[in-house]
């Protein structure tokens, strides 16, 4: 059968920070209608269970520092399944447009004649701020949010580009920076951000077992080292993080979810 005889569709879907009740309605419908589901390592079982029993489920890995399926292999797999007429969902943690390689995957699929839809999701920075009771922007404290990663291709530390993050009215949300905290602090302090700037590291943002590790820019590395997190961590640096309510974080989990715990 020629490749263009039957062509399915690929949806690049954000699973949010992990809790099933933080999925968007559109994401839920996409998962429920999937015939093939390619999911990242951080997508929990409760979200995967929403897919039909007959759905083909393939774990693609994609967790920092661990062996995972190569991006080229994922691209070819999505294409192969779409050419078989399947409704394909590529399920990514958080929002696919934030460090989710959505641009690469969309370009590849569209270049090969496959229809693509991107479904946004709740990103870890938003989930962490909501759960721990602080805003990402706040009048007089933070007039901008800077979303960044501390690493570049190959996992190396990004030595450049830290000047914008040194502005005291910037809330810095750092993804994939857990192992680079001291280097991040050194870069920001060197550029004038006070070591006393409030900061918080959040493990498993959006989950009932989320953990907030507050500190300052100067001592956050030591706090993380002592806490020894094993789950995904997002770093938030800025004056607004001083408003975090660590003890009350469990209250940010919906009553419906708390009843099921």
Coil, helix or strand at residue 247: coil
Q: What angle do CA 127, 150, 133 make, to 5 degrees?
A: 20
pLDDT tens digit sequence for 11-22: 999 999 988 999
Strand partners, 236: 173, 200
pLDDT tens digit sequence for 57-72: 999 975 555 567 899 9
Higher pLDDT among residues 259 and 112, named by residue: 112
Give the CATH fold of the 9-119 domain.
Cobalt-precorrin-4 Transmethylase; domain 1 (3.40.1010)
pTM of the shown model: 0.86
Mean pLDDT, rounded, for 51-58: 97
178: pLDDT confidence band, cut at 50, 70 and 90?
confident
Which positions are annotated as active-site residues?
40, 62, 176
pLDDT cut 70: percent of the chain above it: 87
Does 174 score more than 90 pLDDT? yes
Q: Which two tokens stand for residue 19?
A: 């809790």
16 CA to centre of own chain:
7
pLDDT cut 90: percent of the chain above it: 75
pLDDT at residue 64, rounded to an integer? 55
Mean pLDDT, rounded, for 242-248: 84
Mean pLDDT, rounded, for 232-242: 96
* Per-domain residue ranges of the chain: 9-119, 124-249
> Which contacts (CB < 8 Å, 24+ apart) does range 219-227 have?
220/181, 220/185, 221/181, 221/182, 221/185, 224/178, 224/181, 227/201, 227/203
- The sign of the torsion formed by the CA atoms of 101, 102, 108, 114 equals positive
Higher pLDDT among residues 247 and 72, named by residue: 72
Mean predicted lDDT score pLDDT of the chain: 89
The answer to whether 135 and 28 have CB atoms below 8 angstroms apart is no
Does 1 score more than 60 pLDDT? no
- Tell me which of 3.40.50.1370, 3.30.56.10, 3.30.950.10, 1.20.1530.20 is the CATH number of domain 124-249: 3.30.950.10
pLDDT at residue 68, rounded to an integer? 75
């Amino acid at each position: 059968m020629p490749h263009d005889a039957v062509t399915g569709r690929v949806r690049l879907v954000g699973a949010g920070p992990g809790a099933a009740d933080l999925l968007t309605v559109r994401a839920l419908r996409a998962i429920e209608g999937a015939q093939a589901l390619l999911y990242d390592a951080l997508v929990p079982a409760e979200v995967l269970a929403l897919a039909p029993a007959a759905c083909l489920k393939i774990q693609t890995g994609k967790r920092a520092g661990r062996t995972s399926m190569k991006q080229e292999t994922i691209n070819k797999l999505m294409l192969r399944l779409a050419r078989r007429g399947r409704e394909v969902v590529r399920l990514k943690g958080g929002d696919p447009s934030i460090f989710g390689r959505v641009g690469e995957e969309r370009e590849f699929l569209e270049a090969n004649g496959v229809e693509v839809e991107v479904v946004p999701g709740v990103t870890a920075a938003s989930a962490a701020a909501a759960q721990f009771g602080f805003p990402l922007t706040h009048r007089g404290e933070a007039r901008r949010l800077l979303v960044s990663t501390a690493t570049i291709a190959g996992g190396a530390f990004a030595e450049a580009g830290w000047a914008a993050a040194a502005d005291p009215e910037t809330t810095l949300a750092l993804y994939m920076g857990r192992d680079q905290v001291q280097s991040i602090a050194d870069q920001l302090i060197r550029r004038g951000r006070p070591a006393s700037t409030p900061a918080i590291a959040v493990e498993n943002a959006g989950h009932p077992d989320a953990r907030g590790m507050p500190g300052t820019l100067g001592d956050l590395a030591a706090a993380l080292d002592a806490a020894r997190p094993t789950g995904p961590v997002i770093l938030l640096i800025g004056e607004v993080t001083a408003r975090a309510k660590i003890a009350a974080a469990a209250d940010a989990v919906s009553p419906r979810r708390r009843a099921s715990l």
